[in-house]
Amino acid sequence: MKEQIPLRGAVDLAALAKAREMANQPKSAFVVDATDSNFEQLVINKSKEVPVLIDLWAEWCGPCKQLSPVLENLAAQANGAWILAKVDVDHNPQLAQAFQVQSIPAVFLAMAGQISALFTGAQPESAIKEVLVQVLQVAKEQGLAPSLNAETPMITEPEDPADDLILNGDLAGAKKLYEDRLLANPKDQTAKLGLSNVSFLSRTLGQDLKNVALAAVDDIDNRLKFADAQMLIGDFKAAFDCLLESIRQANPDNKEVLKERLLELFDLIEPEHPQLLAARRALASALF
């Protein structure tokens, strides 16, 4: 299993130092070690009471050592609003095979007995908080009640108004704000990246995309979902290739839809990632 190359906005050296500091702190009561033998009890059954985040990690994985302490700290701050279940994939082969992840760290959500993918890679704390707000909102809609002492994990006041909207669960409002900023200034890269991330989060949060199979090249809806599913598990090449294949054969209207989605997915990973550079060259060839 390969290490996950962090997505755009990955943890920097300062964040790594913070993660090391948090790693020396004792685990809270809301962090559990899930194994092949106790997974059903600690994760599946518990998810019928509160959301359970599943952190797939390994001792050799550098990004895992950045992400895990951040998740543990947020779980402690949440005080029972959600539970963190850590799975060492090297020591739990049955779970590793069941999740079929191609890279770690990988984080999944168990809610009401169902499991769905959340994100891969060592995401920054701010991005994780945005995901958690949406998780708790969905949990509330499904009637899952955290303990009476639980607190929502909103710790710092966001500097960007769009972040404020996201933290309050208003993804549509954040998306519109980013769109308005881009209309006023098409060169606003922060708004461009923010729009891509919010759009991706809106499409994938709480969705079970693990079993989406690749369909015919002209099945545009399937291709878009398949690409999202591959991004979630960190298989960027498969995500890009499925859209590129459709772009080469699509009519002008569908070609534009596919191109815009592909460009949006490009924004989700580091600009110098080799798979991204190769896909940009392939896109240019497909369009001209």
- Residues with a catalytic annotation lie at 61, 64
| Phi/psi-derived region of residue 185, left when phi > 0, alpha when psi is between -120 and 50, beta in every other case | beta
Q: Which residues lie across from 120 on neighbouring strands?
A: 106
> 70: closest CA among 9, 128, 137, 132?
128
Secondary structure letter of residue 209 according to DSSP? -
The token pair that represents 94 in the structure block: 């049955």
Distance of alpha carbon 81 from alpha carbon 210, whole angstroms: 25
Q: Which residues lie across from 117 on neighbouring strands?
A: 108
Which H helix or E strand runs over 12? none
The token pair that represents 107 in the structure block: 């984080």
The token pair that represents 27 in the structure block: 């685990």
- Scanning the chain, the segments in alpha helix (DSSP H) are 13-23, 39, 62-78, 93-99, 125-141, 161-167, 171-184, 189-204, 220-232, 236-249, 252-266, 274-287
Q: Are 53 and 67 in contact (CB under 8 A)?
A: no
